[in-house]
Amino acid sequence: MAVTMQQIAEACGVSRGTVDRALRGREGVRPEVARQIRQTARELGYLPRHASPLKKEKPVRIGVVLHTGVSVFVRQLAGLLAAYPGQTLLPIETIVRTMDGTDVPHQLALIDELAERERVDGLAIMPLASALLRDKINELSEKRGLPVVTINTDIADCARLAYVGPDNIACGRTAGALLGMAMGGKGRVLPILGQRSGHFADTQRLSGFYAEISEAFPSIEMLPPEYCFLDQGLAERITLRALSEVEGLTGIYLSSVGRSGVYRALDRAGQGGRVHVVVHDLTRDNLQMIRAGVVDFAIGQGVKTQGSLPLLLLYQYLTGHVSPEKRRYSTEIEVKFRCNLLPEDEACQTPEL
């Protein structure tokens, strides 16, 4: 059941009118009271209904903002989000903005462009790990009445309509369990991450990976993580140094971007298939490396769901104020390895937009 303003008023000990003014950003409410009301609304899962429902015959304009566009997965996700309206025949127009890196001001500028110049009706955002992004989402939702769905990574304490994406900690635990079993519960493992900060997925996956290895495979030694900063050449050099300098290296964990460089290094060193490798995302390059015997396991995160459900949730909310049944939609954790890899799997993965 949807949370009402009256419930927020009772929780805060104020009138319903005070709640209404605070959530609309109007005058007449002390700043500290307004902050308490907005925080309580977020905690209770209140969904603002400032705008009138759009007429169904009018196309719904939904802006999409994704970061780390150098990633094959992100390019794949962007393509699915762009293609979804045509596949469903829903009156939706998607305007996709993809940035190559993880610069917070860049992402904020793209969001403002869509909200202010393109005048979209709703937003689907893959948010960077920043309080500025949380505040921006709160401003859009609470003051402008612009609904936001977060994709792939979440900011749980913001006023977003819903989140659609993986439980990244569970994904990291899955990677730890698979790599631990492949290594026979012993040896040394090197985690290689795409970036040091800015991306929730990298840090959350690593946290889950560490937890699983330490709890289930205490004899495996975890080496300090290396960061390639989205640079495939650096990822290749990191891997070559580790292969030549780290005695007993028997596992590599790849959380995101940098995989191609690692694969080149393993090939150059003649270690493909000798060092166990677990990666994330069921992209064509990863599936090909499974078939080649370089990668043991690839872990998917439900890209088709991420490329469709956020748009559907926004469309239903904007055209009929149909609130999502849940505030969080965790996508399926899929695992591919040599025994369940089908010939059509690689053909289904299309990294180009």
Taking only the tens of pLDDT, the chain with its 353 residues reads 567 888 888 899 998 888 888 876 667 888 888 888 888 887 787 766 544 555 555 789 999 999 999 899 999 999 999 999 988 878 999 999 999 989 999 999 999 999 999 999 999 999 999 999 999 999 999 888 999 999 999 998 899 999 999 999 999 999 999 999 999 999 999 999 988 767 888 899 999 999 999 999 999 999 999 999 889 999 999 999 999 999 999 999 999 877 899 999 999 999 988 999 999 999 999 999 999 999 999 999 999 999 999 999 999 999 988 889 999 999 999 999 999 998 867 655 544 33
Q: Which CATH class is domain 168-300?
A: alpha beta
Taking CA atoms, 168 is separated from 85, 102, 152, 201, 330, in Å, by 28, 18, 9, 6, 9
SS3 of the chain: the string is CCCCHHHHHHHHCCCHHHHHHHHCCCCCCCHHHHHHHHHHHHHHCCCCCCCCCCCCCCCEEEEEEECCCCCHHHHHHHHHHHHHHHHHCCCEEEEEEECCCCCHHHHHHHHHHHHHHCCCCEEEECCCCCHHHHHHHHHHHHCCCCCEEEECCCCCCCCCCEEEECCHHHHHHHHHHHHHHHCCCCEEEEEEECCCCCCHHHHHHHHHHHHHHHHHCCCEEECCCEECCCCHHHHHHHHHHHHHHCCCEEEEEECCCCHHHHHHHHHHCCCECCEEEEEECCCHHHHHHHHCCCCCEEEECCHHHHCCHHHHHHHHHHHHCCCCCCCEEECCCEEECCCCCCHHHHHHCCCCC
Domains 60-164+303-330 and 168-300 share a fold: yes
pLDDT, residue 58, reads 76
- Give burial (CB, 10 Å; 0-12/13-18/19+) of 344: exposed
Write down the architecture of domain 60-164+303-330 according to CATH.
3-Layer(aba) Sandwich (3.40)
Confidence (pTM): 0.82
Tell me the domain boundaries of the chain: 5-44, 60-164+303-330, 168-300
Cβ–Cβ < 8 Å for 59, 91:
yes
Distance of CA 139 to the CA centre of its chain: 21
